[in-house]
């Protein structure tokens, strides 16, 4: 299989987020979420609830992978990836409904199914890897989320008319 090309790699948030952004399963799930959101925008009035459920399920896949990764606990990571797998299954059911109801057709459907399959494949490989690490005792806690050191100081010019912040009112 060729290297996965994440569609969101040039975003500001991708450049700043650490840890989970490197996980191909998360990247594929993020791209799937983007595709679902683009497709359901065109659903008609009778399908607003379905569109919302599809958005929620798609969002939950990448969000649970990230949350599990950031938990810093291998058993939690595995648990959250299994929750992500459940959300992916829910989304797959909705995609089937959309195909049968002709809400998503043609190239849009083909592209969506391919991205769904990629996400499922990568999530399954991630889970297999995590379970193996759990069984072998090879989990390295250095993999969980880290933030690069950042300079949180900024220079602020204060208006000469208001050199200090007003005091908070006293509550009697």
Q: Where do the domains of the chain lie, and which CATH numbers do they carry? A: 12-143 (1.20.1440.60)
Alpha helices in the chain (DSSP H): 12-16, 24-40, 48-70, 74-100, 106-136
Tell me the per-residue pLDDT of 52-63, one tens digit each, with 9 for 90 and over.
Answer: 999 999 999 999
Q: What is the pLDDT of residue 158?
A: 47
Average pLDDT over residues 70-85: 92
Quote the longest CA-to-CA distance of the chain. Answer: 69
Q: What is the pLDDT of residue 43?
A: 93
Q: Is the pLDDT of residue 168 over 90?
A: no
Q: What is the pLDDT of residue 134?
A: 83
Average pLDDT over residues 69-98: 94
Q: Is the pLDDT of residue 78 over 90?
A: yes
Angle at 80 between CA 48 and CA 60, to 5 degrees: 15
pTM: 0.75
The torsion defined by the Cα of 67, 71, 76 and 77, in degrees rounded to 10, comes to 60
Q: What is the pLDDT of residue 86?
A: 97
Average pLDDT over residues 23-43: 95
Residue for token digits 């490197």?
22
Q: What is the pLDDT of residue 49?
A: 95
Q: What is the pLDDT of residue 136?
A: 86
Tell me the per-residue pLDDT of 144-161, one tens digit each, with 9 for 90 and over.
Answer: 544 454 454 555 454 555
Tell me the per-residue pLDDT of 112-153, one tens digit each, with 9 for 90 and over.
Answer: 999 999 999 999 999 999 999 888 887 766 655 444 544 545
């Amino acid at each position: 299989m060729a290297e996965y090309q994440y569609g969101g790699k040039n975003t500001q948030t991708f450049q700043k987020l650490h840890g989970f952004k490197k996980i191909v399963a998360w990247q594929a799930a993020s791209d799937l979420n983007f595709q679902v959101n683009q497709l359901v925008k065109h659903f008609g009035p009778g399908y607003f609830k379905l569109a919302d459920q599809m958005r929620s399920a798609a969002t939950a896949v990448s969000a649970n992978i990230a949350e599990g990764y950031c938990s810093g606990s291998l058993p939690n990571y595995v648990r959250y990836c299994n929750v992500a797998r459940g959300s992916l299954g829910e989304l797959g059911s909705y995609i089937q409904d959309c195909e049968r109801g002709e809400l998503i057709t043609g190239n849009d459907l083909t592209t969506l199914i391919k991205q769904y399959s990629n996400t499922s494949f990568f999530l399954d490989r991630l889970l297999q890897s995590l379970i193996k690490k759990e069984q072998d005792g090879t989990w390295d806690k250095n993999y969980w989320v880290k933030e690069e050191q950042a300079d949180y100081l900024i220079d602020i010019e204060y208006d000469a008319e208001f050199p200090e912040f007003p005091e908070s009112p006293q509550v009697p």
